[in-house]
């Protein structure tokens, strides 16, 4: 078993699951979307992107592109969350929360593409 490939797959899957966990819930309800889960999703997506820099194949380039898209989407969502005004209760307004979750859903789609590529690549390998 190749430890490098295990770590690579671990971070790809963790990025997708954290992102999916954040997106799950009512899109405009801030109580359904944890800021800590969002932060973890952003950090793990950045780590997954860094791990993809070493692969020089065409599939590796697509892997890296999906990670960069996810990081860009999540970074935009983080900026929006940071700069958006809060309500009297200290949470985002429903419309702003919907925008943050929509951007995170775009990142989730990029993560699903990355996971799919990883599965296809693994299935194509011969022993």
Structure-block tokens of residue 1: 């078993």
pLDDT digits (tens, 9 = 90+) for 53-106: 877 888 888 989 999 999 999 999 999 999 988 877 777 888 889 999 999 999
pLDDT value of residue 25 = 86
pTM: 0.87
User: Around Cβ 107, how many Cβ atoms within 10 Å?
Assistant: 28
Question: What are the boundaries of each domain within the chain?
Answer: 3-124
Structure-block tokens of residue 24: 């799950």
Structure-block tokens of residue 125: 């390998």
Averaged pLDDT of the chain = 90
pLDDT digits (tens, 9 = 90+) for 24-37: 988 888 888 888 99
């Amino acid at each position: 078993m190749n430890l490098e490939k295990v770590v690579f797959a671990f971070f790809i899957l963790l990025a997708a699951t954290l992102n999916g966990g954040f997106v799950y819930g009512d899109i405009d309800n801030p109580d359904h979307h944890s800021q800590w889960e969002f932060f973890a999703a952003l950090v793990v997506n950045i780590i997954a992107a860094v791990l993809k820099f070493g692969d020089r194949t065409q599939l590796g380039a697509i892997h890296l592109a999906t990670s960069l898209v996810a990081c860009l989407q999540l970074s935009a969502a983080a900026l929006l969350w940071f700069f958006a005004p809060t309500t009297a209760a200290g949470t985002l307004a429903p419309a702003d929360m919907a925008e943050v979750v929509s951007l995170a859903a775009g990142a989730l789609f990029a993560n699903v593409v990355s996971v799919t590529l990883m599965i296809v690549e693994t299935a194509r390998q011969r022993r």
